[in-house]
Structure 1
Amino acid sequence: MGKIQHGFAGEKLQIPIWFNNNKQVSHGILKLNFWKVKNNINVDLDNFSNPIYLPLDCPQRGRLKLPRVTLTSTFPLGLISCWTHLAFSSDIVVYPKPLASKVRLIDKQDSVHLNQADSSLKGHDDFDSLAPYKQGEPLYHVAWKQVAKGQGMISKQFSNQSGATGWLILASLNSHDLEHKLSELSFQVIELTRNNGVFGLDLGNLKITPSSGIEHQYACLKALALHTPYLEGVK
Structure 2
Amino acid sequence: MTAATADLSARVLAWAERRLPALTRLRRAESLPTRLDRRRIYVLPSGFGLLFGLLLFVMLVGALNYGNNAAVLLTCVLAGAAGASLFVGFRGMSGLVLARAQGDETHAGDPLQVRLRFEPGARARAGLRLRHRDLDVAFALPANAPADVALMIEDTRRGWQRIGRVRVWTDYPLGLFRIWSWLNPDAEFLVYPALERPAPPLPAGAGRIGEQAAAGASEEHAGLRDYRPSDPTRLIAWKASVRHDSLLVRDIEHRSGEALTLDHAALRGMDGEARIRRLAAWVVEAETAQRACTLRLPGESIGPGLGAEHRRACLRALALMPGHGDAA
TM-score by length of 1: 0.66
Distance in 2 separating the partners of 1:33 and 1:103: 43
Name the SS of the counterpart of 2:189 in structure 1: strand
User: Which of 134, 138, 154 is 1:38 aligned to?
Assistant: 134
Map 1:78-227 to 2 at 5 A: 78-99=175-196, 100-107=199-206, 123-124=210-211, 165-227=259-321
Judging by fraction of residues, say which structure has more helix. Answer: 2
Structure 2 equivalent of residue 20 of structure 1: 119
Is 1:6 the equivalent of 2:105?
A: yes
Quote the Cα distance in structure 1 between the aligned partners of 2:323 and 2:165.
31
Relative to structure 1, is the Cα distance of residues 11 and 195 closer, same or farther in structure 2, using a 3 angstrom cutoff?
same
Are the aligned partners of 1:199 and 1:209 in contact in 2 as well (CA < 8 Å)? yes
- Change over 3 Å in CA distance of 1:166–1:126 after alignment to 2: closer
What's the offset of the Cα at 1:174?
4.1
Contact 2:265 2:297 in 1 (8 A): yes
Could you tell me how far 1:2 is from its partner in structure 2?
A: 4.9
**Residues 4 and 126 (structure 1), Cα distance of their counterparts in 2 relative to 1, 3 Å cut:** closer
Following the alignment from structure 1 to structure 2, what is the Cα–Cα distance between the partners of residues 16 and 68?
A: 14
Larger Cα-atom Rg: 2
Matched-pair contact (CA < 8 Å) for 1:70–1:86: yes
Q: Which amino acid aligns with 2:311?
A: Q
Shift of 1:195: 2.1
1:87: Cα distance to partner?
2.2
* Residue of 134, 143, 156 corresponding to 1:59: 156
Shift of 1:196: 2.2
Q: Say what the alpha-carbon RMSD is for the aligned residues.
A: 3.1
| Alpha-carbon separation, structure 2, partners of 1:172 and 1:228 | 18
Could you tell me how far 1:216 is from its partner in structure 2? 0.8
Equivalent position of 1:153 in the other structure: none
1:27, CA displacement in angstroms?
A: 4.5
Q: Identity of counterpart residues, as a percentage? A: 25
Distance 1:31 1:82 in 2: 10
In the superposition, relative to structure 1, how do residues 126 and 200 fare at CA in structure 2: closer, same or farther (>3 Å)?
closer
Number of residue pairs matched by the alignment:
182
| 1:196 to 1:27, Cα distance in 2 relative to 1, 3 A | closer
Does the C-alpha gap of structure 1 residues 81 and 222 become closer, same or farther in structure 2, counting only changes over 3 Å? same
Task: Write the distance in 2 (CA, Å) between the matches of 1:70 and 1:105.
Answer: 51
Change (3 A) 1:78 1:107: same
Aligned-partner Cα distance in 2 for 1:28–1:125: 57
- Per the TM alignment, residue 26 of structure 1 is displaced from its structure 2 partner at its CA by 3.5
Cα deviation for residue 22 of structure 1 reads 5.2
| 1:32–1:70 CA contact under 8 A, matched in 2 | yes
Q: Which runs of 5+ in 2 are unaligned?
A: 1-99, 215-251
Q: How far, CA to CA, are the matches of 2:157 and 2:320 in structure 1?
A: 11
Contact 2:212 2:291 in 1 (8 A): no
Distance (whole Å) between structure 2 residues aligned to residue 16 and residue 171 of structure 1: 38
Task: Please list the CA deviations of residues 126-153 of structure 1 after superposition, one character each: whole Å capped at 9, or x if unmatched.
Answer: 99xxxxxxxxxxxxxxxxxxxxxxxxxx
Distance verdict in 2 for CA 1:165–1:27, change over 3 Å: closer
User: 1:189 aligns to what SS in structure 2?
Assistant: helix
